[in-house]
Amino acid sequence: MSEPTRTDKYYIPAPSHWPILCCIALFTFFAGIGRWLHELPSGPWVWLCGVALLIVVLFGWFGTVISENLSGVYNEQVGRSFRSGMKLLILSEIVFFAGFFGGYFFIRLWGIPMLGGEVHPITSVMLWPDFTAQWPLLTNPDNGRFLGATNLGSPWGIPLVNTLLLLTSSFTLTFAHRAMAQGHSASVKVGLIITILLGASFLGLQAHEYIDDYERNNVTLNAGIYGSVFYLLTGFHGFHVLVGVIMITTMLGRALKGHFSRPGDHFALEGVAWYWHFVDVVWVLLFVFVYWL
């Protein structure tokens, strides 16, 4: 097969087996979850195979890209393409969260008042006449099937601390990014380590809050729409923080190995920083609209 092609203007990679392996990994991953959900004994094992293959693919694929970059075959066009790709990926993530926020506001501003008898009072009379609209919704229309939450934590406890942690981490990551642009490799490492610690603390506190909510406040997935949207929004956000922490840790590893030595050659860190700021902004919106108001 053909070798990678490089002209003065373009770099075209050679054929690669990583993408198809990635597809097989995702297929196995989803098939595994499906079997698991349907309580087939093979489910978790199939899923684990998918996860393992996915990890192999991520190492292999990103490893290939990194070594290509280090060998200096990339040019300005590749850099622009990677940056554009990362921006568009973040755009798609924004849309993903926008969809969830849209659902959240629809339920809160339209669905619940409708159930409480606004607009068409007959809805309430025919279905659940005793139901009163409120937010956060603690008493569900059918509280027998979905037992509502008993108590909600204050936004000024762990959520506020978490907000401060993430906002600080945005600054420390920007500090690391700036330091890289100026070539201070020691500051880069310090900045990255602090960012990772802040992100990990966020995840720890979030896990603590979840456990607390489940055990003491009956804020569960089963607790009706409040629990549902709460875990949907904060859960997917938490997952993105986890991915972000893993990505920043990778950057730290690369920085320790002495990558990013050529000036201007730090797209990876730049992309990770954009992603981290995006995750941050989502959290601020979550804090304001889900926890506070």
Partner 1 sequence: MANGVPAAAGQQSVPRRVISFITRWTTATNHKDIGTLYLCTALLNLFVGGTLALCIRAELFVPGLQFVEPNFFNTLTTMHGLIMLFGFIMPVAVGFANWLIPMMIGAPDMALPRLNNMSFWLLPSATIMLISTLFMDGGAPNFGWTMYAPLSTTYGPPSTDYMIFAVHMLGLSSIMGSINIITTIFTMRAPGMTWMKLPVFVWTWLVTAFLLIGIMPVLAGAVTMMLFDRNFGTSFFDAAGGGDPLLFQHIFWFFGHPEVYVLALPAFGIISQVIPTFSRKPLFGYRTMVAATILIGILSYIVWAHHMFTSGMPYGAQLYFMLATMLIAVPTGMKVFNWITTMFRGSISFETPMLFSIAFVFMFTFAGCTGVMLAVAPADFQYHDSYFVVAHFHYVLVNGLTFAFIAGAYYWYPKFWGRMYNERLGKWHFWLSTISVNVLFFPQHFLGLAGMPRRIPDYALQFVDFNFISSCGAFVFGFSQLIFVYNMITSRRRGEPASDRVWEGAEGLEWTLSSPPPHHSFQTPPKVD
Site for partner 1 in 223-282 (CB under 8 A): 224-229, 231-232
17 binds partner 1, rule: CB under 8 A: yes
The interface mask with partner 1, positions 30-59, x = CB under 8 A, is: xx-xx--xx---------------------
Q: Rule CB under 8 A: choose which of 46, 53, 107, 192 binds partner 1.
A: 107
Min. distance of Cβ 84 from partner 1 in angstroms? 4
49 versus 161: smaller Cβ distance to partner 1: 49
Pick left, alpha or beta for residue 264 (phi over 0 → left; psi -120 to 50 → alpha; otherwise beta). left
31 versus 51: smaller Cβ distance to partner 1: 31
135 versus 156: smaller Cβ distance to partner 1: 135
* Interacting positions 117-156 with partner 1 (CB under 8 A): 119-120, 127, 137, 140-142, 145-146
Question: In sequence order, what DSSP letters do the residues of 206-260 get, joined into one string?
Answer: HHHHHHHIIIII---TTSHHHHHHHHHHHHHHHHHHHHHHHHHHHHHHHHHTT-S
Return the percent helix, strand and coil in the chain, to nearest 5: 70, 0, 25
Please report which residue ranges of 141-223 form alpha helices under DSSP H. 158-182, 185-212
155 preceded by a cis bond (ω within 30 of 0): no
Among the listed residues 225, 228, 44, the one whose alpha carbon sits nearest the alpha carbon of residue 140: 225
Q: Rule CB under 8 A: choose which of 54, 60, 61, 155 binds partner 1.
A: 61
107 versus 252: smaller Cβ distance to partner 1: 107
Contact predicate 141/132, CB 8 Å: no
102 versus 183: smaller Cβ distance to partner 1: 102
Provide the 3-class DSSP secondary structure of residue 41.
coil
Q: Rule CB under 8 A: choose which of 49, 60, 70, 103 binds partner 1.
A: 103
